[in-house]
Homo-oligomer: A and B are copies of this chain.
Amino acid sequence: MPSRDAQVLTGRAIEYTDDETIFEGYAVTSDCGDQNLPCVVLTHDWSGLTDPTKQLVHRYAALGYICFALDVYGKGVRGDPVGFNAPLMDPLMSDRALLSRRLLAGYKAAGQLPGVDNTRMAVVGYCFGGLCALDLARAAAPNLKAAVSFHGGLQAPISGERSPIDASILLLHGWDDPMAPPEDVLAVAAELTAAEADWQLHAYGHAKHAFTFEAAKFPERGIVYDQMADERSWAAMRAHLDGTLGL
């Protein structure tokens, strides 16, 4: 499928539930008739499914994928993309089993979208969403071919069963990210190796947290946009999805 213009694609809200909570995702689906396409599932940052994530849905759809941003906070629960969103995120960071169930509910909703070839699924996330992408791979989401984390948290859940990880993992990491210091890199490398995952880490010297996010201008908190790391990580993600989803 040829790439599409992100601006002219139509996105729409998709409501779904895990039988406890109502969630609202956001999708750009296919305009290609009967041809089923691979699907990129986006996991949102700590602000929830806000405009920056919706814009990313359009960018990924423009590459030729169906793209669906899932929601782990619940319909209408949204923060501020440039604000402080720990009160939204922390309850899920403290209950990774709940986070996993919500990720799997959203992943299932993605696989049921019209036009999705649900044997070719990937997950991509940024910041907190990067940790979510890893957690979806850790949860052995069915047919998940790839998980890509941009400046994501790397910490494994403290407890819980560890399964083999089938998804090909790509960690795109700013070496100077204060949210993911070198000891976390060493720990996740050991974890993914033990899980027999196919994994890669691309570390960018000098890059800090949120290096792909143009509005990131908080050097005092180690949150800074970095154009070179942004471009390199985008190219690495594209090659990884091409290689694993076969678009």
Spell out A's residues near B (CB within 8 Å): 169, 175-176, 182, 186, 189, 192-193, 197-206, 228, 232, 235, 239
Give every chain B residue within 8 A of A239 (Cβ-Cβ).
Answer: 235
Give every chain B residue within 8 A of A206 (Cβ-Cβ).
Answer: 193, 198
Give every chain B residue within 8 A of A201 (Cβ-Cβ).
Answer: 175, 201-203, 205
Closest residue to A195 on the B side, CB-wise? B205
Give every chain B residue within 8 A of A189 (Cβ-Cβ).
Answer: 175, 182, 203, 205
Give every chain B residue within 8 A of A198 (Cβ-Cβ).
Answer: 205-206, 228
Give every chain B residue within 8 A of A232 (Cβ-Cβ).
Answer: 200
Q: Are B200 and A200 in contact (CB-based, < 8 A)? A: no
Give every chain B residue within 8 A of A169 (Cβ-Cβ).
Answer: 205
Complex Cα distance, B169 from A239, in Å, reads 20
Q: Which of B193, B197, B200, B205 touches A192 (beta carbons < 8 Å)?
A: B205
A69 to chain B, nearest CB (A): 28
Complex Cα distance, B240 from A239, in Å, reads 14
Closest residue to A169 on the B side, CB-wise? B205
